[in-house]
Structure 1
Amino acid sequence: MPVFISYRHMDRAHAVKINTRLIQASIKTYLDVLDAESQTTDDITGVITRNISECTHLLAVVSEKTALSWWVPFEIGEATITNRRICSFKTGPAELPLYLDKWPKLTSDRDIEFFIDAYRNEAMLKRSMALDSVTGSESVRSVNKSNADRFHADLKSRIIRGF
């Protein structure tokens, strides 16, 4: 159940910090700056799309600088199409686009810990997404969407409660 970390390169320090914490929690991640292929390819869109398809979660690092990025919204769109678990991590005071309200918004180290707990809980309850669920039957896709919605709702609720 790898986590794809989406970010604008100006926000790299936040992305690396989150990546480090997830790895410390034994969660596999994908961060393009650590991927030699993404640094040398002529088909970056293909590399990104493939790596999103190989992840179950997308965590988008967003700031006022993200509004100038084409890649972060593209990556969120790719993850949305395939019912990946999506969260944003807000790095500053800027207002986020309304379309991000659909998913949990993380803003602190505490919220990252909540994400880690939700990730582990989903795996423990066997609600984690099978990577082939996109091409599976309608019932498999429906269960995956339902489980993704539950992941999002549970994590949002925990962030609001603060514990």
Structure 2
Amino acid sequence: MPVFISYRHMDRPQAMAINSQLMQANIKTYLDVLDPESQTTDDITGVITRNITECTHLLAVVSEKTALSWWVPFEIGEATISNRRICSFKTGPTQLPAYLDKWPKLSTPADVDFFIDAYRSEGTIKRSMTLDSVTGNQSTRSANKTNAEMFHEGLKNRIRRGF
């Protein structure tokens, strides 16, 4: 159940901090800067798309600089098509685009801890998170979508409560 970390390269320090926090919690991550293939290929779109489909979660680091990026919205779109669990991590005082309201918005290391708890909870209760949510049958796609929505709502509620 890897987590794909999406970010604009100007936000690399925040992405690396989140990556470290997740790795300390024994959560496997994908961060393009740590992937030699993404540094040496002419088909970066194919590499990114493949890695999103091999992850169950996408965490997008969003700042005022993200508005100038084509990649972060593309990666969120790819994750949406695949019914992945999606969250944003807001850095700084920037106003997030309204389309991100659909998913949980993290903004502190404590919120990332809530994400970690929700991630682990899905594994504990064995909630379906198959990687074939695009190519699978209608029943599988529907179950993945429902389970992703449950993850999103549960995490949003936990962030609102603050504990």
TM-score, length of structure 2 as denominator length: 0.99
Q: Deviations over 1:95-153 (max 9, x none)?
A: 00000000000000100000000000011111141112321110111011000000000
2:90/2:105 contact within 8 Å kept: yes
1:133 and 1:95 mapped to 2: Cα distance?
31
* Aligned counterpart, 1:123: 123
1:60 alignment partner, SS class = strand
In the alignment, structure 1 residue 24 sits paired with structure 2 residue 24: yes
For the residues of structure 1 that align with 2:25 and 2:132, how far apart are their CA atoms?
25
1:13 and 2:13 correspond: yes
Query: Are 1:96 and 2:102 counterparts?
Result: no
Alpha carbon RMSD of aligned pairs, Å?
0.6
Matches within 5 A, 1:38-53: 38-53=38-53
Contact kept, 8 Å, 2:128 with 2:143, in 1: the verdict is no
The separation in 2 between residues aligned to 1:57 and 1:127, in whole angstroms, is 13
- Once residues 148 and 83 of structure 1 are traced to their aligned partners in structure 2, the CA distance between those partners, rounded to angstroms, is 7
Residues in 2 aligned to 1:118 and 1:19: alpha-carbon distance in whole angstroms: 16
1:132 match: secondary structure: coil
| Structure 1 runs not aligned, ≥5 long | none
Q: Which amino acid aligns with 1:6?
A: S
- The alignment covers a number of residue pairs equal to 163
Identity across the alignment (%): 78
Deviation above 3 Å: which 4+ runs of structure 1? none
Work out the CA distance in 2 between the residues paired with 1:134 and 1:46: 16
TM-score (ref. length: structure 1): 0.99
* 1:1-163 equivalences in 2 (<5 Å): 1-163=1-163
Q: Cα deviation per residue 1:23-58 (whole Å; 9 max; x = unaligned)?
A: 110100000000000001000000000000000000
